[in-house]
Amino acid sequence: MRQPRDTLKNPQQELRIFRLRSLLAVVIVLLLSGLLAGRLFYLQVVQHEKYSTRSEKNRVRVEPLPPTRGLIYDRNGELLAENRPTYNLTLVRERVDDLDATLALLVDLLDLPADQVEAFRERSRQRQRPYQPALLMSDLDEEQIARLAVNRHRLPGVEVEAQLLRYYPDAEAMSHVLGYVGRINTEELQRVDAGNYAGTHFIGKTGVERFYEDTLHGQAGLRKVETNARGRVLRELGHTDPVPGENLTLTLDKGLQHLAVDLLDGRRGSIVAIAPQTGEILAMASVPGFDTNQFVTGIDVASYRALQQDIDLPLFNRAIRGSYPAGSTIKPFMAITGLRDGEITPDEVIYDPGYYQLPNDSRRYRNWLRWGHGRVDLERALEVSNNTYFYSLAHELGIDRIHDSLAQFGFGTRVAADVYGQGTGLLPSRDWKRARFDQPWYPGETLSVGIGQGYLQITPLQLASATAVLANRGDWVKPRLVRETGDVPMPLDLDDTPPDVELEHAEWWERVVSGMEQVLSGNEGTARRAGAGLEYRMAGKSGTAQVFSLGQDQRYNADELKERLRDHALFMAFAPVEDPQIAVSVIIENAGGGSSHAAAPARAMTDYWLLERDHGEIPPEEEADIEGEG
Amino acid sequence: MAMVDVLLRRPHPVKPTASGMSRKRSLWERIHLDPWLLGLLLALMSAGLVVLYSAGGQSMHIVIAQAIRFGVALAGMVIIAQFSPATLLRWALPAYLVGMLMLLAVEIMGDMGMGAQRWLEIPGVVRFQPSEMMKLAVPMMVAAWLSRRELPPRWQDLLVCALLIGAPVLLIARQPDLGTSLLVAMAAVFVILLAGLSWRIIGVLAALAAAALPLLWMNMHDYQRQRVLTFLSPESDPLGAGWNIIQSTTAIGSGGVWGKGWLQGTQSQLEFLPESHTDFIVAVLGEEFGMIGMLAFLVLYLLIVCRGLWLAGAAQESFGRLLAGSIILTFFIYVFVNIGMVSGILPVVGVPLPLVSYGGTSSVTLLAGFGILMAIHSHRRLLPR
């Protein structure tokens, strides 16, 4: 198998072979070098442009500069929503020399709780992009900041970062009307202009904060920065300043709002006050409220669940979403409807035996006074809140005309120009009933609507708004919450302001108003106790609403059952009669026995607005006039 | 004999009493260094330090550290150059055996839960990477073996060589260090090829190697496979494994013909480039000095390779010749693989750019190789013939 072989080595042959092979190697080396050179030519000459662009994109990053959110003031310039700087302690791992020593020093300086340090260590174990500041502690107080400043040189990589955080000084009283901001969620990110919100962490969730989000937010600025691949900013190449959000001046009066909340005194209910001539919402309270500041930083699950499951529904904005039977507060509007449609005149008298019977029907629709009020005209019907009068009127008008007329006062619609989340209440009609129940409208149901019961449901805001229209003798001004955005006053005439309500004889307005004045001032007035000692002329109407439940899923326990079956107390009023400055609606849930419970708060509201408030703008002699009329 | 002398252009023997004419030549002879090769290497290292200053984030610290390593490595080169090829031949087997023992030790320690353990360490005293030493020890062993056989090598010789090469290469690949194992294998294969392995056998072996590729694939670690896949389509994983390739090709491409200028490369200065001062330093070179700079370095490398091959060809004995040729070709493979991977025509394997990339071990090994090269050349006339 093995050939006999010359065991002598042959140096010449070996050298020859080696030289040949090295020559071949040189050729291959040159070929491979040519391949590299070709690759370089392709990258650096042929594709140069493409890679230049890519390299440029790598280098320059555009960073958004979030605008500062606009502030919110009340009508007197009192701050209702501000931006407070809070300070967070952050740590950049890459710049910290000795993490353990640094943490130990921080624990020493700040009394940092051990579990917070442990949590931080846990978080920093997870991989993250380098040079990203990691949050170690939020909301530092001034002493802590000072201690850090003094020890700054010993703490490389440790930084105190300022962040503007929304703060509501009157959180509880203003919670529903003002709303609050919270962290943007993904759903909201899809709604807003992503570019403009790129650096923004908070967005208006409800209330004014939500409705005026665009105004308050402002325009984001841009900063072109040179960065490295780790996102570390090396230098700035240019920037556009952000445009801060505009400040809002609300129509609300902080004092009146607080008064409204105080008047409700922890009872579930709502008070809305409107300046009739301008539509300015002066107060809009829904009690109970909650601390909106909790929601800015992110409320914890337990607290949120507690709020959600609270039987008093603190998160529910009763003023704009609560639906209540109007009760007798609907009667002035029924009266106007009857007058306008010619079914009654102010002097027409009906006889009340204590009940009303539909023709060809034996069922008796009772007055609240079993034995009746006897002879009743329009004004007395309002003063004593006679049901029979309005049963009769409702029957003659029929549901169709009642529906159309009440709609003109704003019932069944969202009345305010700039209030987020308004409910519509319920203004029933034949069509509605057909669609809802697939049933015809029965005449008896018209009678119920005529005294504010049955299917009819209103919101406190609607009632206040309709009262303002009544106070204006039919002139519509849409309720609004904002007076000025930036320094620009909000226009009074809005495109979608409903048409004014008109009567053939203008003095008929005064007859209705007169009847309402008697509610507070007349001998038989249902709210005469609340009207005692009036220093100005005030018109009002009480109402009692049979109970309904706010939510289907509400759970009642036996003790509360009784209380929550009581009637709701309602009152609507405006004053002064001859020159209305304020229209109020008050609704107190389950206040029980008699509507006077709601009349007193209404009186307190008008008293405050007309007498007690420090009017900068009202001259002294005018005040004397009011005094004289009382 | 005379003919051989002419072929090798052997210089006249140096006389103990050197004349004034021959003193200059004799200085290099006496210290056993090749001035041309030394000059080229020093030029390369100096240029490398300039690039490193930029690539290392303009840190003088890194440059000085590298310069010190170069100094140490050069000293090692000079020392090695003083030994005769005969001494190196005697060392071949002991060096190979010691290397194998250390590789086994690493293997055992690796099994003891150290993960990708490539170092042997006596804590506080010395840290040593045996696989690095095998880059020289394995070709030495193979060259020593073959130089005692009749050349060109036959099948039987190949079988022995395969064992000599396969054992350390497998151990290194298991560490896992695919790059080094391939370089070690290549250095040894170059010895066999230069020894005159017949083309027929080369063809058969090449076919066998191609057939074994799937087997290799199956024995690869996941991250090694990932590298190959990423190489085939870097855009598929732009933020992960493909990031390096995308960023380095972007750096090179954006450099254009003339480059962005020293310290002006945005890709490298802004830390978009990973490992910019080690394996990916070519990207910095390409970005800041452009195609001109790249070609200049390439030419420098080619000059070194050519001078090295010339020195190898001038060696008198098979062992020295084969070892020297293998060392210089392996040196080129470093260059080719490194530039090829950074410019995106080869998968990413951890191969530094010789004498430019930051790092001590490879510089020491490379310059030790050049020391051997110079020893083989400068000691030849002292060989008894």
**A15 contacts in chain B (CB < 8 Å):** 4, 7, 313, 321
How many CB atoms lie under 10 A from the CB of residue A145? 15
- pLDDT per residue over B36-47, tens digit each? 999 999 999 999
- Return the DSSP state at A498: P
Q: Does the N-terminal peptide bond of residue B130 adopt cis geometry, omega within 30 degrees of 0? A: no
What is the rounded distance in angstroms from the CA atom of residue A25 to the CA atom of residue A31? Answer: 10
CB pair distance less than 8 Å for B318 and A14? yes
**Residue of B155, B254, B282, B385 to mutate for A, most A C-beta atoms under 10 A:** B254
Q: Percent of chain B scored above 90 by pLDDT? A: 37
Lowest-pLDDT choice from A34-43, A96-105, A418-427, B157-166: A96-105
Q: Report yes or no: A520 and A531 within 8 Å, Cβ to Cβ.
A: yes
pLDDT-derived band at A621, boundaries 50, 70, 90 = very low
Identify any residues that bridge with A488 across adjacent strands, giving them in sequence order: A485
Per-residue confidence at A139, pLDDT binned at 50, 70, 90? Answer: confident
Reported as a pLDDT band with limits 50, 70 and 90, residue A38 is very high
Assess whether pLDDT exceeds 70 at residue A594.
Answer: no
Tell me the pLDDT band of B28, cut-offs 50, 70 and 90.
confident
Of B336 and B270, the structure prediction assigns the larger pLDDT to B336
- Which pLDDT value is given to residue B121? 61
The average pLDDT across A445-461 equals 93
pLDDT at A455: 92
Report whether pLDDT(B19) > 60: no
pLDDT band at A159 (very low <50, low <70, confident <90, very high): confident
Subunit contact A44:B294, Cβ cutoff 8 A: yes
Closest partner CB to A44 (pick from B252, B266, B305):
B252
A422 vs B315: CA distance, rounded Å: 98
Q: Hey, which residues 219-248 in chain B have their CB within 8 Å of chain A?
A: 247
Q: Which of B151, B287, B329 sits opposite A14 (nearest CB)?
A: B151
Cis peptide bond N-terminal to B214, omega within 30: no
CB contact under 8 A, B256 and A44: yes
Return the higher-pLDDT residue of A235 and B381. Answer: A235
Task: Give the DSSP H/E element, type plus range, for residue A603.
Answer: helix A596-607
Question: What pLDDT, on a 0 to 100 scale, did the predictor assign at position B270?
Answer: 67
CB contact, 8 Å: B361 with chain A?
no
Helix runs in chain B, H state only: 2-8, 20-31, 35-55, 60-81, 85-109, 130-147, 155-173, 178-194, 199-218, 222-232, 242-255, 266-269, 281-313, 318-342, 360-378
| pLDDT of B23 higher than 90 | no
Beta-bridge partners for A163 = A86
Beta strands in A478-551 (DSSP E): 482-485, 488-489, 539-545
- Angle at the Cα of A301 (from A297 to A305), degrees rounded to 5? 120
| Residue positions of A annotated with a catalytic role | 328
Which pLDDT score, from 0 to 100, does residue A551 have? 45
Question: Rounded to an integer, what distance in angstroms lies between the CA atom of residue A211 and that of residue A213?
Answer: 6
Verify whether the Cβ–Cβ distance B256 to A227 is below 8 Å: no
Are the beta carbons of B254 and A54 separated by less than 8 Å? yes
Chain B nearest-CA residue for A40: B291
Q: For residue A574, count CB atoms less than 10 angstroms from its CB and return exposed for 0-12, middle for 13-18, buried for 19 or more.
A: buried
Question: Does the pLDDT at position B287 exceed 50?
Answer: yes
In this predicted structure, what is the pLDDT of residue B368?
A: 92
ipTM over the 0.90 cut-off: no
Q: Are B73 and B366 in contact (CB under 8 A)?
A: yes
The tokens for A599 are 């009349």
Phi, psi of B274 (to 5 degrees): -80, 155
Q: How far does the CA of residue B148 sit from the closest CA of chain A (Å)?
A: 9
Contact call for B196 and A229, based on CB within 8 A: no
| A622, pLDDT greater than 80 | no
| Better-predicted residue by pLDDT, B93 or B13 | B93
Closest CB from A19, A48, A229 relative to B270: A229
Chain B residues with CB-CB distance to A230 below 8 A: 271
Q: What is residue A561's predicted lDDT score, i.e. its pLDDT? A: 58
Q: Tell me, yes or no, if B251 comes closer than 8 A to chain A by beta carbon.
A: yes
Main-chain phi, psi angles of A316, to 5 degrees = -90, 125
- pLDDT the model gives residue A361: 81
Higher pLDDT: A579 or A129? It is: A579
Interface touch B7/A229, C-beta < 8 Å? no
Residue, of B318 and A73, whose pLDDT is higher: A73
pLDDT at residue number A618: 45
Q: What is the mean pLDDT of chain B?
A: 82
Q: How far apart are CA B360 and CA B72, in angstroms?
A: 9
In angstroms, the CA B12 to CA A36 distance is 41
> Residue B61: pLDDT band by 50, 70, 90 thresholds?
confident
Is residue A516 within 8 A of residue A540, CB to CB? The reply is yes
* Neighboring chain B residues of A10 at a CB cutoff of 8 Å: 150-151
Amino acid at A251: T
* Phi and psi, residue A423, nearest 5°: -90, 170
Q: State how far the Cα of A592 lies from the Cα of A594, in Å rounded to an integer.
A: 6
Task: Give A112-139 as a DSSP string.
Answer: --HHHHHHHHHHHHS---TTPPEEEE-S
Whether B263 and B269 have beta carbons less than 8 Å apart is answered as yes
Cβ contacts (< 8 Å) between A31 and chain B: which residues? none
DSSP state of A550: S
Do A39 and B344 make contact, defined as CB atoms within 8 angstroms?
Answer: yes
Q: Tens of pLDDT along B215-248? A: 878 777 777 777 777 777 666 655 555 777 888 8
Residues 135..174 of B with a Cβ closer than 8 Å to A: which? 150-152
The Cα A206–Cα A481 span in angstroms is 14
| Euclidean distance between CA atoms A458 and A326, whole angstroms | 6
Option in A6, A45, A232 nearest B291 (CB): A45
Distance CA B300, CA B303 (A): 5
Question: Of the segments A11-20, A367-376, A576-585, B268-277, which one has the largest average pLDDT value?
Answer: A576-585
CB pair distance less than 8 Å for B267 and A7: no
Asked if B2 contacts B372 with a C-beta cutoff of 8 angstroms, the reply is: no
pLDDT of B6 > 50? The answer is no
pLDDT confidence bin for A460, thresholds 50/70/90: very high
Q: Which of B190, B199, B271 to mutate to test the interface with A (most CBs of A within 10 A)?
A: B271
Of the candidates A17, A22, A55, the beta carbon closest to that of B250 is on A55
Mean of the per-residue pLDDT values for chain A? 86
Residue A193: its pLDDT value, please? 80
The predicted pLDDT at position B220 comes to 74
Contact (CB<8Å) B339/A30: no
So what's the pLDDT on residue A626?
41
Q: State percent of chain A over pLDDT 90.
A: 52
* Predicted confidence (pLDDT) at residue A519 exceeds the cutoff of 70: yes
| Closest to B372 (Cα-Cα) out of B313, B335, B332, B320 | B320
Nearest neighbour of B253 by CB, restricted to A25, A51, A230: A51
What dihedral do alpha carbons B300, B305, B308, B312 form, nearest 10°? -170
d(CA B187, CA B84): 21
- Token output for A519: 């509610």
Within 35-94 of B, beta carbons closer than 8 Å to A belong to none
pLDDT at residue A291, rounded to an integer: 92
- pLDDT interval class at B117 (50, 70, 90): low
Neighbours of B87 (CB within 10 A): 12
Asked if A25 and B309 come within 8 Å (Cβ–Cβ), the reply is yes
